[in-house]
A and B are shown apart, each in its own frame.
Chain A
Amino acid sequence: MFFSLGETFILSQNHHHLLENTIQQNILSYELEIYNLQNHLLQSIYSTSLDDDYQEKVINQATYYLEQLHYLSQKQTSYALSQNNDILFSNMNNEYHSFISVKNNQKYYLQKYHHKNLMFITTDIHLGEKQYYLTACYDISYCYEERDRQLQSFFITSLFMFVLAFFILRFVAQYMTKSIYKLNKMSQRIAEGEYDVRTHIQSKDEIGELSQSFDKMAEMNELTIQQLKESVIQKEEFMGSFSHEIKTPMTAILGFADLLRTCDCDEETRQKAAQYIYTEAKRLESLSYALMELLSMGDNQAELKSISLQHVFSQLKEYYRGKTNEYIIIFDVIDIHVISHLDLLFILLRNLIDNAIKASEKGQTIQVKAELQYSKLRISVIDEGIGMSQEDAKKATEAFYMADKSRARSQGGAGLGLAIVKRICHLHQTQLLIESELNKGTTISFELEVSNE
């Protein structure tokens, strides 16, 4: 805009100068012509006697001279000779006669007439005692035409520039807004729950930077939400299994109790019902204990310290004494301290030994081994029992997973043992290793950090 304003100003200045120059030039040439004319006429006056047709002669001379000038200027300049507002001679367009006036003596003025720009100059000429007025009319249209032409070409270039600028700006704006539009669209999609969308804008400007940060944020969001979802699914699965595990004994207990209190059944049914109520209640009991253990180590990080492994082993021996005379449990004798927690390690090993007992036949041996491997101590519980298939071994640590449901039930298992073990192992930052072969037995082992004390 400023550019075009400036241009317009310069153009009008140009025009002004040109006009001024033209006017000056016209005045100059006019003066020259007047001078010439006067000389000419004076000469002719002196060469002729002052008689009656002296005036006629002068006029003829002037006419001749002015016609010549008129043709010399290629009809661009025309003249009129007048005396007291009577036009004596004119090669002007008749229409211009109205502009000829004595009042304008020694003056020039500009007049626009029918698309033509004209300049009139009038001066008096003294010949003897007679006074004449000579009016010259210059066509200065070309000054205006020049200005119009310049303006026109200026407008065309301006228009062209405008169009060009418009397209360039539009392209740039579109490029900028496209990125912003995309960013906005992606935010909306993320807000609607599509966490996997990314902008993928690879420009080196601020928008590119913003998009990269945005993508990074989206990725973090997706990851966090994924983790949240997984933990929710895990919790849901756990709750599902848990409710199943709790509802089944509940139904049985309620149902059999209802049967007993409603009708006076025969001795056999009554015995059966009482037995079911007892075993199912037992199942609920072991489930609630296991659940308590699982909950108690849920979030509070147990403090691990140096403990004597032998101490835990003797506690376990005490625990199983008298309880399981049918199974032989052998503990390795090793005097070593490990980084662990007395109660947790006890629960961990008790669960593993319980599992081993459940998998074993009466009279079979269960070994609890402890071997040093580099700086770590590997503790293994080995049984000679029924073992598990590969598939079952993989799922064994899932809560409530039971390879053989009816067998597990009859032994009062809740399906939480290995889930507890896994959680304790996690606290120790160690992995539970399960090696099992059907009908050959199972070895479950884990590693503990050895203490130097």
Chain B
Amino acid sequence: MIKILIVEDEKAILDLIKINLQRVGYQCECANNGKEGADLLAENDYDLVLLDIMLPHINGYELLEYIEPLGIPVIFVTAKGSIKDRVKGLHMGADDYLVKPFSIDELIARVESVLRRYHKGMKVIHVLDIEIDTQTRQVKQNNQIISLTNKEYDLLLYLVQNRNTALYREVLYEKVWEEEWDESRTLDLHIQRLRKKLNWHHEIKTIFKVGYMLEEHV
């Protein structure tokens, strides 16, 4: 399992990141300040560090210098969003830069992309009997390529990334189609198509009054 260290002095942001990363299947550990972060880094191995810049005691830039020789990828999570700050952070060796306020999807996407770059991430995701190659956007079932439309692929990926969580119909539509929910049957139609193509009639569950959920029995 991929282990991520979150160094952030704002409790709310820390919990927000932690809850969401755990939800999509990462293991998370937290530090409230730079010193705690350094201590944890010395004791454990991590695949990725999410780092705030304005931290008490040891700030993010200082901690980054400590992390760099360890070869662990770092994403800055900060309110300092000016071009100057971004360039400074990236120059110092951060792998990505996430500016507050950020959305959870953006956070997850960036975490994935950095992990992919380090060949640690889920370049190929195995779920149930299928494997998804996120780089070529190819889905295979029993070594047979399943042909999916773009929207079907996006929907499948979102379900897979948020597996075992019941997702609200409206929000699911909003996130995959990137437009506002218009009461149409588009989403239901795509779900039916996915069920049929993958033969996942039981795996993609309909949750009453909520929406859909991909269930993975581990």
Contact = CB atoms under 8 A, between A and B. Distances in A.
A125 B56 CA distance: 136
Contact of B166 (A264, A273, A280): A264
A433 B63 CA distance: 36
Contacts of A405: 9, 56
Contact of A261 (B10, B13, B168, B207): B168
B104 interface: yes
9 contacts: A243-B81, A247-B100, A248-B12, A251-B13, A255-B16, A255-B20, A263-B23, A264-B166, A405-B9
Contacts of A272: 15, 19
A269 B100 contact: no
Contact of A247 (B56, B101, B211): B101
Q: Helix, strand, loop or mixed for chain A's interface?
A: helix
Interface in B126-177: 162, 165-168, 170-172, 175
A335 to B, nearest CB: 46
B162 A263 contact: yes
B103 A254 contact: yes
Contacts of B10: 248, 252, 409
A264 B210 contact: yes
Interface of A: 240, 243-244, 247-252, 254-256, 258-259, 261-265, 269, 272-273, 276, 279-280, 405-406, 409
B11 A248 contact: no
Contact of B100 (A248, A256, A264, A273): A248
A250 to B, nearest CB: 4
Given A248-B10, A406-B32, A276 B16 contact: yes
B54 interface: yes
Nearest to B16: A255
Contact of A406 (B9, B80, B162): B9
A243 B15 CA distance: 21
A259 B32 contact: no
A252 B13 contact: yes
Given A251-B16, A252-B16, A255-B20, 20 more contacts: A244-B54, A244-B79, A247-B101, A248-B10, A248-B12, A251-B101, A252-B12, A252-B13, A254-B101, A255-B101, A256-B12, A259-B19, A262-B172, A263-B23, A263-B167, A264-B168, A264-B213, A269-B19, A280-B12, A406-B32
B26 interface: no
A416 to B, nearest CB: 16
B207 to A, nearest CB: 7
Contacts of A409: 10-11
A248 B9 CA distance: 11
B15 A276 contact: yes
